[in-house]
């Protein structure tokens, strides 16, 4: 299912804007940790940012988002993403664990 959604939305021939709910999900994540391109590499806190891509919203299309994280921050950030997803009524699938994550 994950591969099909990834292909349908991320590898689509046309750009599909994120749904409002996915955009809200991203905004909530960014309230906790900013996009990489919003912080200078030399600034305090840069190493705490879990995203390995920026802007994070750029990884969203339609009702789907796939965003890679740096390994050292993945456990905390993925747990938070699962919590936020649950609050918004979204499902969170972890491809590394090959299962849905539930808060």
pLDDT at position 78, please? Answer: 93
- Least Cα distance to 66 among 28, 27, 74, 58 occurs for 58
pLDDT at position 9, please? Answer: 87
DSSP three-state, residue 82? helix
- Least Cα distance to 80 among 39, 15, 69 occurs for 69
CA distance 69 to 91: 18
Handedness of CA 4, 75, 102, 84 (dihedral sign): negative
pLDDT tens profile 6-65: 888 888 889 999 999 999 999 999 999 999 999 988 888 889 999 999 999 999 999 999
pLDDT at position 97, please? Answer: 83
At residue 101, does pLDDT exceed 90?
no
CA distance 22 to 41: 27
């Amino acid at each position: 299912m994950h591969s099909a959604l990834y292909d349908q939305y991320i590898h689509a021939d046309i750009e599909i804007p994120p749904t409002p709910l996915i955009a809200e999900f991203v905004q909530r994540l960014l309230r906790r940790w900013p996009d990489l391109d919003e912080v200078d590499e030399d600034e305090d806190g840069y190493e705490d940012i879990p995203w390995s891509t920026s802007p994070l919203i750029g990884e969203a299309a339609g009702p789907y988002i796939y965003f890679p994280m740096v390994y050292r921050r993945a456990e905390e950030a993925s747990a938070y993403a699962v919590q936020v997803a649950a609050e918004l009524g979204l499902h969170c699938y972890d491809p590394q664990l090959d299962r849905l994550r539930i808060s």
